[in-house]
């Protein structure tokens, strides 16, 4: 009934707005009366905006309410529906399906639940050869990501994830043909460990009685459990940890049409980037994102890590995303500040990144140019083993593939370094087939470190069907005072 009232009020508001606009904007002849005389324009009236519209011209006539009631009759879609991709398993209403929705279940708090379950994910299988850093490996590697989504309503759900073919140490199920002179052997890392298990919801939807008119500040989202988190595009934090987060969205302030605030607390499974193990410390965070009147999106994030080993530190990140003419751009500055200046476990550092991208005229092809500058030795507040270095988001040559022992071409320490990545993405007759060519270079600001390197990478991927993808990667890199690095891999991916 509330939905009907809201709908009818919006219809009346729309009709009134159209009539009011016609009186103000139509030519004088159209606003004349029957005697050919021009009418005087009506006095300006204030039209309610936002939530105030809900109480504008309320309907009380039952006949009018029935007239605007949504029909129960099924109306066929005028075009042929696109066949949907079915998940591996689904219970309840079809995901992205069509037709009548099953009746819901009303809770004692008057929330309407429509439970459903989805099981989906992807399977990856790759033959790969990697030769760098005095290490050579040829292997067949596999990875399976499974995700279960127990959906209770449009805002509440329970999510779990598994990676049953590999572990958090970077070991996976497959076959090693050669590895530093070792004999061929099969390695089995099958397991049933949950990698994610969390619940998320919104307080105002779980307890509708708190805000029957939907005009208060109870639109507060929260999540609790083991979940994957990325902050500042994975630079400041990229880890799966046990955490509780609470978010207040759609806040409005001067010059900020939309502001989001998130409080974060993590108590376990925080991967320690400086010690290389899992620390029993605690993590506190305040994450903010705002759309501004300057047509950009600002991210300002603060994280504090309280570590039982005494390695306490602040991590701050500031980012701005906007368009400069036809160019997409993102600029970020992230810094690490140890609480104790003489801490032997932590190093102070700052990482500055700039990302630019755009499209070529009269073409679907894209280009990108990303650069970075690292002062001292910056590290993330928390970083999982397979997340790669802090620069994993700026290009292929700095990003891990996430399978087996295939390394990161230019994934050395970023302490006191600077560098850039230039790439070109070409599409062959649509998005189903594409080629990416990338050139990257990095150098140290301290000549004694001898960390200069340059590399070129190539990736070709082609969709074999709506669910399968074939991907080919290769790279070649030259590093100062080290042997050249090279790698090649062929991957088959199945999404379900």
Half-sphere exposure of 88 (CA within 13 A, CB side): 13
- Asked if 225 and 197 count as a contact pair (C-beta separation under 8 A), the reply is yes
Better-predicted residue by pLDDT, 22 or 45: 45
Both tokens of 160, joined, read: 């779990």
> How does pLDDT run across 381-402, given as a tens digit for each residue?
999 888 888 999 999 999 999 9
Count of Cβ atoms closer than 10 Å to residue 379 Cβ: 22
User: The domain at 89-495 falls in which architecture?
Assistant: Beta Barrel (2.40)
Span 136-177, pLDDT tens digits: 899 999 999 999 999 999 999 999 999 999 987 778 899 998
CA distances for 314 relative to 154, 301, 388, angstroms: 36, 11, 21
**Cross-strand bridge partners of residue 298:** 290, 320
Q: Give the confidence band of 98 by pLDDT, cuts at 50, 70, 90.
A: confident
Q: Which helix (H) or strand (E) holds 64?
A: helix 62-67
State pLDDT tens for residues 215-268. 778 889 999 999 999 999 999 999 999 999 999 988 888 888 899 999 999 998
Chain-wide mean pLDDT for the chain? 84
Whole-number Å distance between alpha carbons of 233 and 238: 8
pLDDT per position as a tens digit, 416-453: 999 999 999 999 988 889 999 999 999 998 877 777 89
Q: Where are the domains of the chain?
A: 2-67, 89-495
The count of other CB atoms within 10 Å of the CB of residue 473 is 21
pLDDT band at 343 (very low <50, low <70, confident <90, very high): low
Tell me the per-residue pLDDT of 203-218, one tens digit each, with 9 for 90 and over.
999 998 888 877 778 8
Q: Indicate the pLDDT class of residue 273, thresholds 50, 70 and 90.
A: low
pLDDT at 274: 55
Question: And the tokens for 8?
Answer: 């009818």
Q: DSSP string covering 419-475, please? A: EEEEEEEEESSSTTEEEEEEEEEEEESSGGG---EEEEEEEEEEESSSSEEEEEEEE
Mean pLDDT for the stretch of residues 50-70: 63
- Gyration radius of the chain's alpha carbons: 28
Whole-model pTM?
0.81
């Amino acid at each position: 009934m509330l939905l009907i009232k809201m709908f009818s009020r919006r219809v009346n508001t729309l009709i009134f707005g159209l009539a009011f606009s016609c009186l103000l904007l139509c030519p004088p002849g159209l606003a004349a009366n029957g005697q050919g005389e021009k009418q005087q324009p009506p006095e300006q009236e204030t039209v309610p905006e936002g939530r105030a519209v809900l109480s504008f011209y309320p309907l009380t006539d039952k006949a009018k309410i029935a007239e605007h009631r949504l029909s129960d009759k099924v109306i066929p879609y005028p075009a042929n529906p696109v066949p949907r991709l079915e998940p591996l398993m689904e219970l309840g209403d079809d995901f992205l399906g069509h037709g009548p929705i099953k009746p819901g279940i009303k809770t004692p708090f008057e929330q309407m639940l429509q439970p459903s379950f989805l099981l989906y994910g992807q399977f990856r299988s790759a033959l790969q050869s990697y030769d760098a850093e005095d290490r050579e490996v040829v292997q067949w590697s596999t990875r399976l990501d499974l995700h279960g989504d127990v959906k209770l309503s449009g805002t509440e759900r329970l999510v779990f994830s598994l990676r049953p073919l590999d572990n958090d140490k970077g070991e996976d199920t497959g076959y090693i043909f050669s590895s530093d002179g070792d004999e061929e052997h099969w390695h089995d890392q099958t397991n049933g460990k949950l990698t994610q298990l969390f619940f998320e919801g919104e307080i105002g939807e779980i307890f509708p009685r708190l805000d029957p008119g939907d005009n208060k500040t109870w639109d507060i989202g929260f999540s609790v459990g083991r979940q994957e988190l990325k902050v500042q595009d994975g630079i400041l934090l990229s880890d799966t940890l046990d955490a509780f987060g609470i978010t207040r969205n759609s806040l409005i302030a001067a010059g900020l049409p939309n502001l989001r605030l998130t409080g974060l607390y993590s108590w376990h499974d925080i991967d320690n980037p400086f010690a290389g193990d899992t620390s029993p410390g605690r993590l506190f965070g305040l994450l903010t994102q705002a759309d501004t009147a300057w047509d950009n999106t600002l991210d300002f994030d603060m994280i504090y890590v309280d570590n039982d080993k005494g390695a306490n530190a602040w991590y701050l990140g500031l980012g701005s995303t906007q368009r400069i003419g036809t160019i997409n751009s993102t600029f970020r500055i992230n810094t690490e500040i140890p609480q104790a200046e003489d801490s032997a476990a932590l190093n102070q550092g700052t990482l500055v990144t700039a990302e630019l991208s755009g499209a070529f005229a009269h073409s679907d092809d894209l280009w990108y140019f990303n650069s970075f500058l690292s002062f001292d030795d910056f590290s993330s507040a928390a970083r999982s083993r397979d997340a790669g270095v802090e620069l994993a988001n700026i290009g292929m040559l700095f990003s891990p593939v996430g399978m087996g022992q295939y390394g990161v071409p230019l994934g050395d320490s970023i302490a006191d370094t600077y560098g850039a990545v230039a790439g070109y993405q070409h599409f062959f007759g649509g998005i189903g087939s594409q080629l990416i060519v990338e050139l990257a270079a990095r150098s140290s600001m301290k000549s004694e470190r001898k960390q200069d390197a340059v590399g070129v990478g190539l990736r070709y991927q082609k969709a074999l069907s709506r669910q399968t993808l074939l991907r080919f990667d290769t790279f070649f890199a030259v590093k100062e005072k080290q042997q050249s690095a090279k790698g090649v891999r062929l991957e088959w991916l199945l999404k379900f």
